[in-house]
Amino acid sequence: MRRLLSILLIFCALPALAQVDRSEVRAGNRKFRKDRFKEAEIDYRKAALKDSLSLAAEYNLASALYRQQDYAGASKALATVAEQEALPAQYHFNAGDTALQQKDYAAAVEAFRQALLLDPGDLDAKENYIYAKKMLENQQNGGGGDNRQDQQQDQDQDQNQDQNQDQQQNQQQQNQDQKQDQQDQQNQQDQQPQISPQQAQQMLRAIQAKERETQDKVNQEKAALLKSRQKEKNW
């Protein structure tokens, strides 16, 4: 069964809610079509401040708030429109949908009932009316409404939290490993002996002296060997 429907925005006031179409309302409607609901909300509020009787502003404000999941605010805006004597079926449907989101099943049942009285052929309103009535009965019997939906939402929320926590831990571990590598490299550089230019020159001279000493020794051994051969030949 189709349980919940998105609220139906009226981009222009319905005939029963006809008022002067202010520029702020038109600007809000353009932003709403682009899913810029927060900006649309601001325009609708400006229109309502300029004209407190602008039903189009209040009605579309409810839609913008609904899309931002501000269901309490949407209900308040719809309540302003509810003061009018003649309201279309669409208004009652939206009021019922908003009440469902807040689990106010009694209000939802009444709103969908009014929508069906004005438009008996609305199958979506009929399905939602049956659903809201069933949830109201469960709530009155101590069932608390749609427990399965609450449980699923809790499970999804826990799963998302676990995934986010794992990602954060992995990122933190990577950052720690990177910092440790950098620290090890720095320690290795620090551990290497630091010598002054004078010390380096002294070491070079010592190596060169050692090389000369070795070369002199080799030359002496060669000379001694040559002299020994000459004596053997003369004898």
Enumerate the domain spans of the chain: 15-144, 197-235
Cβ partners under 8 Å of residue 27, min gap 6: 43
Average pLDDT over residues 40-46: 89
Q: Is 28 helix (H, G, I), strand (E, B) or coil?
A: helix
The pLDDT score that the predictor gives to residue 81 is 79
- Looking at the predicted structure, is the pLDDT value of residue 71 above 50? yes
| Cα–Cα dist 221/183, whole Å | 53
Question: pTM above the 0.75 mark?
Answer: no
Of all residues in the chain, what percent carry a pLDDT higher than 70?
64
Give the residue, 11 or 166, on which the prediction is more confident: 166
| Cα–Cα dist 33/11, whole Å | 9
| Cα–Cα dist 151/143, whole Å | 13
* Cα atoms in the 13 Å half-sphere on the side-chain side of 198: 0
The pLDDT score that the predictor gives to residue 177 is 64
Contact (Cβ atoms closer than 8 angstroms) between residue 93 and residue 125: yes
Q: Could you tell me the pLDDT band of residue 16, with boundaries at 50, 70 and 90?
A: very low
Phi-psi region of 51 (alpha: psi -120 to 50; beta: other; left: phi over 0): beta
Give the residue, 226 or 221, on which the prediction is more confident: 221
Cβ partners under 8 Å of residue 206, min gap 6: none
Q: What is the token pair recorded at 130? A: 């049956």
Closest CA to 56 of 102, 98, 31, 91: 91
The pLDDT score that the predictor gives to residue 215 is 78
pLDDT per position as a tens digit, 90-100: 888 989 999 99
Cβ partners under 8 Å of residue 59, min gap 6: 10, 13, 14, 17, 77, 78, 81, 91
- Looking at the predicted structure, is the pLDDT value of residue 107 above 90? yes
CATH for 15-144 is 1.25.40.10
Q: Give the DSSP letter of residue 4.
A: -
Q: Could you tell me the pLDDT band of residue 234, with boundaries at 50, 70 and 90?
A: very low
| Cα–Cα dist 212/221, whole Å | 14
pLDDT per position as a tens digit, 55-70: 888 888 899 999 999 9
The pLDDT score that the predictor gives to residue 208 is 75
Mean pLDDT for the chain overall: 75
Q: Give the DSSP letter of residue 84.
A: S
- Looking at the predicted structure, is the pLDDT value of residue 183 above 60? yes
Q: What is the token pair recorded at 118? A: 């004005």
